[in-house]
Amino acid sequence: MSQTMTTQHRGFRSLKARFTLRWSFWAQTAFITLLALALFGPIANLLIWTIAETWYFPHTLPNQWGLKYWQQVFNPYSDVSGSLMTSIIIALCAVVVCLLVSIPAGYALSKHTMPWRVGFMLLFLIPQAFPNLTVYINIARIFYDWGLNGTLLGVVLVHSVHGLMYSVWISVAAFSSIDPMLSRASRNLGAGPIYTFIHVVLPQAAPGLIAASIFVFLESLDEFTGTFFVGAPEVTTLPLLLYTASMEGNYQISSITALILLIPSIGFMLIINKFMRPEMLSKLGK
């Protein structure tokens, strides 16, 4: 009697298990499909737009295919190549500014003996804590007084403030993950603190600093709000151009611009993937 009950019970259990398995399988499939659609749907749409010459509303696919707009974009006198150059120059300058600040700051903050350490680290997060728009409007007002509005320098500074959050935190992690014995060994052999920093500490921190630079570069390349308030209309970066193009209904140009913006992101992500050491990530914020 009791035996039959247990078999029954077991049968029920296995049925239930199979059901749960099925259910979770379908749930997973549905979830992944939705995710893929959400991720790749807009990208597919964007890709189609880049090779559409005319595409009117009720049609699912473009009426006329072609590369006309690519030629327009890569025409050396087009707005796109001009603002691409501006974007790259601004991004490189922001990287330099961020490195100049975050190498010394990151090294100092990686020392646990430093007073107010956490306070300083939070300081670099503050601009992110407020709504972007408020921060940038205020920056724009201050920059207006200083005559920085509409200048490359102004835009570089805005991008740097934004990028510093990433670069300082990543640099602190990079410097913290270095074994302090490595610099002791160097001092031990007769090298002063500066020689040690250049020959031992910096090379060890380099992968982290490269990762930080890439983040700053990409963030700068994508930045819109700050550039809009501080730089426009004198300084036109790719995201600003993209914005104007889509406002004017020129989806081809804006799609191609978006695609151009996508290339460095993907490329650099691969590089970061190679350079970022997992143990460094574990030191983030420590």
Tell me, by CB under 8 A, how many residues bind other proteins: 17
Residue 195 near other proteins by CB under 8 A: yes
186 binds other proteins, rule: CB under 8 A: yes
**Cα–Cα distance for residue pair 24/197, rounded to 1 Å:** 54
Please tell me whether residue 81 binds other proteins under the rule CB under 8 A.
no
Identify the CA nearest to 280 among candidates 178, 180, 201, 181: 178
Q: Among 17, 39, 125, 182, which residue interacts with other proteins (rule: CB under 8 A)?
A: 182
Residue type, 1: M
Structure tokens at 203: 């090379």
> In a 3-state reduction of DSSP, which class is residue 54?
strand
Is 102 within 8 Å of 150 (Cβ atoms)? no
| The only residue of 179, 263, 266, 278 in contact with other proteins, by rule CB under 8 A | 179
Q: Using the CB atoms, write b or e for 86-99: b if 16+ within 10 Å.
A: bbbebbebbbebbb
The answer to whether the beta carbons of residues 230 and 136 sit under 8 Å apart is: yes
Q: Is residue 185 part of the contact set for other proteins (CB under 8 A)? A: yes
Q: Does 111 bind other proteins (CB under 8 A)?
A: no
> 127 or 207: whose CB is closer to other proteins?
207
The answer to whether 249 contacts other proteins (rule: CB under 8 A) is no
Extract the tokens encoding 277: 């050491």
Closest CA to 61 of 75, 51, 69, 70: 51
> Could you tell me the smallest distance in angstroms from the CB atom of residue 283 to other proteins?
17
254: tokens are: 């804006």
When asked if residue 190 is in the footprint of other proteins (CB under 8 A), the reply is yes
Fill in the amino acid letter for 159.
Answer: H
Residues 133-172 that bind other proteins (CB under 8 A): none
Q: Can residue 205 be called a binding residue for other proteins (CB under 8 A)?
A: no
Q: Using the minimum distance from each CB to other proteins, give the nearer residue, 200 or 260.
A: 200
204 lies in the site for other proteins, by CB under 8 A: yes
The window from 53-61, 77-85, 91-99, 197-205 that contacts other proteins (CB under 8 A) reads 197-205
Site for other proteins, rule CB under 8 A: 179, 181-182, 184-192, 195, 199-200, 203-204
